[in-house]
Amino acid sequence: MNKTQTRISLLSILVSSVLLTGCGNTPANTPNSVSSATSKANIEKADYFADNGLMNPVAIVQHPAGIHEKGVTYVSYQGPLEDPYVAAYNHNTETWSGPYKAGNSALGKDLTQPKNIDNHGKPTMIMDNLGYIHVFFGGHGGDKRYGKNELGDTHYAANKHVVTKRPYDITEWEELNNITPFGTYNQAVKMDNGDIYLFYRHGAHRSNWVYQKSTDHGRTFAAPVSILKTKKRNDVQANDSWYAYVSKGHNDDIIVSYDYHICWKRGAGVNGRGHTTERHDAYYMVFDTQKNTWSNVQKETLSLPITREVADEKTLVARTGGVGYWSFNGSSHLDENGYPHIGINIGKDIGKKTGGPKQTSHYRWTGEEWVGGQPVYAQARADGTDTRGDFIINSPTDISFLLGYKENGDGIISYFNSTDSGKTFTKGKELLRREKAGWSITALIDNAHPDARLIVAEKQKNSPWRKLYLVGDNGPVQRVKSTASVLTSADEKHLKTFKKEHALFKQSKKK
């Protein structure tokens, strides 16, 4: 597209030329150079697109959090009041729109909420084949206000579904009351024929993982189908529990990688540690949506829902790290042979409630066996710091991870590349570095443009508010600073008041 045709206002001309100048790739003799020279001093740029992300505004598991379609990247995150926000970046005009509030979360508003900021209801986004954008958000297992959960236990708030009023237009949204309120960790998959599958955990920890299927662009969903089963263990004081990552495989397949959570009862657990985030091991299976059958990597048929016993016998990838190591599952993708590669974070249990820091590790199926398991960035394990991220398979031998981590006080987003099928990785291009920052990081944006691969939130200790970056191979996508600064003093004031009142309410309940 001819860029000049799309620039319809003086403002957008100024914006675009300043952005290009900022990237250092505008030749001095372009038609825009005059306006660029005069405006440069006046228009300040930001490398973030919004600054009103709340606490943990994004995560790998709630995905896709962003979609690239017809030259526009749509992004979502958790903003003020834990509500979902959506912005869009047009790669042709180099302009931003939004963020717009897409819906009203049941989280973030009510003093009876167990934690003042819950962080589980982050938005998951998908575009249907008619161009409408759907966002699923706001759930952390449902609660008694929504009736009995037939597929597990409950925690708080309701899973919700909103859709844009018009295709490709994020300015207005409406709520669709067509999914159960018990969902947590939404993951949406659209197949080539337009069918939409919404996967999630149907409640709190002791709940089955399920999917709901829509064949009418998300306007109605069939009842939940259980895929992973929670149940009480007879040998120890715990329940079987799961964390899954679901994404599109080849053709009609959906692929699922998952790890096991031993959900200890209060006061039980190793050395009486009680309930922790103890998780172990990697598993993998495939859903053929055309035949409506499930199978393991060896193509043996599986019956639903999968129990721990069946998972161990039929779908085990690896005992990640061995004894003394805990896991936190990441993403999975297929190579050109249809063989799965799995990213999973593994770290030594050093006695914390979360075990300890975990480092992203890579496994792959060779056609005969699972291999791998070493950390992508070995120094992070030596340093005892976390890494999180997603990965791109360029070929079975050529694999690139995009990792967020902390090093020497800086927060870094960087490529780590392998040319030997994941045996070794070396640090590649650094895309973003911020002093004293931690990160929340999404999975790769669906159908990502190379300039916009993922969304990251910069976590600074002195504030619950986060700057959000759309990061690609040229670093973060820029935006005019005055339009990226969207956090209001009313938002800040409201949160401070809510936190105070929430603490007082909790105290009053203890008495």
Which residues are designated catalytic?
A: 120, 185
The residue within the footprint of Zn ion, chosen from 263, 342, 399, 470 (CB under 5 A), is: 263
DSSP state, residue 443: P
8 A C-beta contact, residue 452 and residue 89? yes
Closest to 225 (Cα-Cα) out of 312, 126, 303? 303
Please tell me whether residue 205 binds Zn ion under the rule CB under 5 A. Answer: yes
Please tell me whether residue 14 binds Zn ion under the rule CB under 5 A. Answer: no
Q: Choose one: 33-41, 157-165, 187-195, 197-205; the region binding Zn ion (CB under 5 A).
A: 197-205
Q: How far is the CB of 269 from Zn ion (least distance, A)?
A: 10
Pick the closer one to Zn ion by CB: 124 or 241.
241
Q: How far is the CB of 241 from Zn ion (least distance, A)?
A: 5
Pick the closer one to Zn ion by CB: 152 or 224.
152
Map tokens 């844009």 to a residue. Answer: 164
- Residue 402 has φ and ψ, to the nearest 5°, of -110, 110
Pick the closer one to Zn ion by CB: 46 or 263.
263
Map tokens 């200790």 to a residue. Answer: 461
Count of chain residues binding Zn ion (CB under 5 A): 2
Please tell me whether residue 204 binds Zn ion under the rule CB under 5 A. Answer: no
Burial class (CB in 10 A: 0-12, 13-18, 19+), 31: exposed
Q: Choose one: 76-84, 198-206, 242-250, 304-312; the region binding Zn ion (CB under 5 A).
A: 198-206
For residue 374, the one-letter residue type is Q
Q: How far is the CB of 204 from Zn ion (least distance, A)?
A: 8
Q: How far is the CB of 206 from Zn ion (least distance, A)?
A: 7
Q: How far is the CB of 275 from Zn ion (least distance, A)?
A: 6
Closest to 183 (Cα-Cα) out of 261, 121, 108, 134? 121
- Residue 180 has φ and ψ, to the nearest 5°, of -75, 150
Pick the closer one to Zn ion by CB: 139 or 411.
139
Pick the closer one to Zn ion by CB: 275 or 506.
275
Pick the closer one to Zn ion by CB: 89 or 264.
264
Question: Between β-strands 45-46 and 133-137, what pairing exists: parallel, antiparallel or unpaired?
Answer: unpaired
For residue 303, the one-letter residue type is S
Q: How far is the CB of 261 from Zn ion (least distance, A)?
A: 5
Map tokens 């200890």 to a residue. Answer: 264
8 A C-beta contact, residue 278 and residue 326? yes
Spatial separation of the C-alpha atoms in residues 177 and 159, rounded to whole Å: 10
| Per-residue binding letters, 208-247, with Zn ion (x by CB under 5 A) | ----------------------------------------
**Which residues are CB-neighbours of 55 under 8 A, at least 6 positions away?**
78, 117, 119, 464, 466
Write out the two tokens for 331. Answer: 């993403």
**Residues interacting with Zn ion, by CB under 5 A?**
205, 263
